[in-house]
Structure 1
Amino acid sequence: MTQTLQGIAPISHLGVIRVQGDDAASFLHGQLTNDFALLDLQHARLAAFCSAKGRMQASMIGFKRAPDDILLVCSLDLLAQTLKRLSMFVLRAKAKLTDATQDFQLLGLMGSAVPDAAQAPWAVQTMGDAHLVHLYPAAGQPRALWVAPAGTAAPQGPALSAQQWLWTEVASGIATVSLSAYELFVPQMLNYESVGGVNFKKGCYPGQEVVARSQFRGTLKRRAFIVHAASEIQAGAEVFAASDAEQATGTIVQAAPAPDGGWDAIVSMQISSAQEALTAGSASGEPLTLLPLPYALLEDI
């Protein structure tokens, strides 16, 4: 039985890209996997920024502070290169992109620390100068991302550690793409289409044809799964199935120590390996136990 985590955690592994200007939403609409053209002030978007081959170069949660002011929260170790590459596509659009990590503070809220916990994932509440983005739950507990200008008084509640928050990210089943996962996956290999991260009805963006083909032609052979190990496992490590000791079946995307001991991780791997014995690092490595996903997968179209 997983112990219940309640409280507020510091977040230092994520950064903020700020996009300002009259064309901020339309510009992002043409670059990311989700619909930013119809984004309102009450919702956020999970999205991927892909290469021309449809491989994820970053993932982000985006929301509007104002009609011409959008924040993108992404992995800090990919922020600089993501900002640089996104800026290359601005051209004549009225959109200015900046690294605003130092201008905002991020906190993770879990369990009883989440106000109005019945809100659906990706709903946004405005709380003075702060914005609260409701996330997918972990271990049945509500989660939210609190984003506010630097210096804003933080909400009050029990303290959670950064490591505990990282575990809630793993337990939610929604991976954040970091440097170790750069250009390894199309969005569906991390289940992004099943958690609101891909809009198949919107127009073109880099890699759109590959992402659409993976969905509509039934060519997707990898998915994201949650696993548990008795000992430490790390992002970037390969995963092996019992049927093939030579060829890895997947990769650990994100890992964190579990509250009750051991480590939990999100693994992107061959769907066909889900019924096999799994190990991390090598065929004789740390045994992995498959855990249930906390959300349903969207059926292939």
Structure 2
Amino acid sequence: MIPTWKEALGATGARFNDSRNPEVDSFGDAAGELAAARDATVVAPLTHLGVIRVGGEDAKSFLHNQLTSDINHLAADGAQHAAWCSAKGRMLASFVVWRDGGDYLLALSADLQAAIAKRLQMYVLRSKVTVADAGLALLGLSGPQSPAALQAAGLPRPEPMKSAAADGCAVIRIDDARQLIAVPAERAAAVWAALAGTARPVGLPAWRWLDIRAALPLISEATKEHFVPQMANFERIGGVSFHKGCYPGQEVVARTQYLGKVKRHLYRLRSDAAMAAGDELYSEAVPDQSCGMVVSAAASPAGGHEALAVVMELAADAGIRLRARDGANAAAAAVAA
């Protein structure tokens, strides 16, 4: 996390956890912040995300040949989901991708940023491509008063899955209600203050719950290389193109799509017990192995906890146990197509 940004958030009452990558747990009222995320307009510091900048005259073709989405047809004001896979078709990272002139910006889990940037650099070879930390802070804005909050901050509001730039900042609208705002680190505190005049500041648990409600999975260190994109519903959110050329894992991803052999899918879980990304899941229907894994989790405004998880179909109806065969119960509901 950018030190000056952390200091600025601390001055506004942010309460951080003690993880390797410090995250804002709350601004002093975790339950109230969750309720606000459900019903009102909120702004969150997305310190769990980082941004990689890929530039150079070969950046487009390089990324098109590496990622699962169609980078060649990403418009100047477009945004899309994408994944980078291993040769076995397993997701190494998931991204939201948008453009900044001739450069491409990739938002991903912060705990993967350094390793993914290094690995991408290994594939550059003789291509005219640069891979670097973008040096941006990401904010999340959600709720019915988002247009007013953006206007107060002097920022535009694009259409869903579009981006728009103003005064060095970029707004990426990821669904009907939510926006990512990429801000130069030195301006993050000022933009935050302008948005917070309309939107209530909330911690990351509230934003993670919004991701779960939207069925938007995020691959992190705990879940990398566990899922082919279809297990995480990535083809449903436009994160996979089946009409482009080869990329790492393409043969596996295509075979999975056209032969329909994927037996694990994305589900929402509810439990009285807390859950975390990477938690193994178990079921009596699958006696000899784990039946799935939690992708992301958060406390719920309704009480208890919610999660997105990749689960075997036959296990979902039979009952899910968390972390062990005698673990806490969790109820699974399929994510609608």
Instruction: Give the corresponding residue for 1:128.
Output: 167
- 2:178 pairs with 1:143: yes
- Amino acid across the alignment from 1:91: L
For residue 292 of structure 1, report the CA deviation from its aligned partner: 5.3
- 2:290 pairs with 1:248: yes
SS, match of residue 189 in structure 1: helix
Q: Distance in 1 between matches of 2:172 and 2:334?
A: 25
For residue 147 of structure 1, report the CA deviation from its aligned partner: 0.8
Q: Distance in 1 between matches of 2:238 and 2:244?
A: 13
- 2:43 pairs with 1:8: yes
SS, match of residue 166 in structure 1: helix
- 2:58 pairs with 1:53: no
Q: Distance in 2 between matches of 1:46 and 1:276?
A: 32
- Amino acid across the alignment from 2:141: L
Displacement over 4 Å in runs of 4+: 116-120
Q: 1:106 to 1:128 in 2, by over 3 A?
A: same
Instruction: Give the corresponding residue for 2:127.
Output: 93
Instruction: Give the corresponding residue for 2:235.
Output: 193
- Asked if 1 retains the 8 angstrom alpha-carbon contact of 2:70 and 2:244, the reply is yes
Q: Which segment is superposed worse, 118-127 or 268-277?
A: 118-127
For residue 195 of structure 1, report the CA deviation from its aligned partner: 0.7
Equivalent of 1:107 in 136, 139, 147:
139
- Asked if 2 retains the 8 angstrom alpha-carbon contact of 1:6 and 1:160, the reply is no
Instruction: Give the corresponding residue for 2:54.
Output: 19
SS, match of residue 67 in structure 2: coil
Q: 1:283 to 1:190 in 2, by over 3 A?
A: same
For residue 113 of structure 1, report the CA deviation from its aligned partner: 4.3
Q: Distance in 1 between matches of 2:325 and 2:123?
A: 43
Q: Normalization by structure 2: what TM-score?
A: 0.80
Q: Distance in 1 between matches of 2:145 and 2:76?
A: 23
Equivalent of 2:117 in 73, 78, 83:
83
- Asked if 1 retains the 8 angstrom alpha-carbon contact of 2:319 and 2:332, the reply is no
For residue 135 of structure 1, report the CA deviation from its aligned partner: 1.6
The superposition leaves residues 109-149 of structure 1 with CA deviations (integer Å, 9 ceiling, x where unpaired) of 11124339996542222233221111236xxxx11111122
Identity of aligned residues (%): 38
The superposition leaves residues 5-37 of structure 1 with CA deviations (integer Å, 9 ceiling, x where unpaired) of 421111111111111111111110010000111
Q: Which segment is superposed worse, 2-11 or 90-99?
A: 2-11
Q: Which segment is superposed worse, 121-130 or 207-216?
A: 121-130
SS, match of residue 213 in structure 1: helix
Q: Normalization by structure 1: what TM-score?
A: 0.90
Q: Which segment is superposed worse, 147-156 or 69-78?
A: 147-156
The superposition leaves residues 190-214 of structure 1 with CA deviations (integer Å, 9 ceiling, x where unpaired) of 0000111000101111010000000
SS, match of residue 136 in structure 1: coil
Q: Distance in 1 between matches of 2:313 and 2:328?
A: 20
Q: Which segment is superposed worse, 225-234 or 26-35?
A: 225-234
- Asked if 2 retains the 8 angstrom alpha-carbon contact of 1:246 and 1:283, the reply is no
Q: Distance in 2 between matches of 1:171 and 1:134?
A: 16
1:100-249 paired onto structure 2 within 5 Å: 100=134, 103-115=135-147, 121-136=160-175, 142-152=177-187, 153-154=190-191, 155-156=194-195, 157-249=199-291
RMSD: 1.9
- Amino acid across the alignment from 1:79: Q
Answer 1 or 2: which has greater helix percent. Answer: 2
- Asked if 1 retains the 8 angstrom alpha-carbon contact of 2:280 and 2:294, the reply is yes
For residue 218 of structure 1, report the CA deviation from its aligned partner: 1.2
Q: Distance in 1 between matches of 2:323 and 2:204?
A: 25
Q: 1:119 to 1:96 in 2, by over 3 A?
A: closer
Q: Which segment is superposed worse, 282-291 or 16-25?
A: 282-291
For residue 242 of structure 1, report the CA deviation from its aligned partner: 3.1
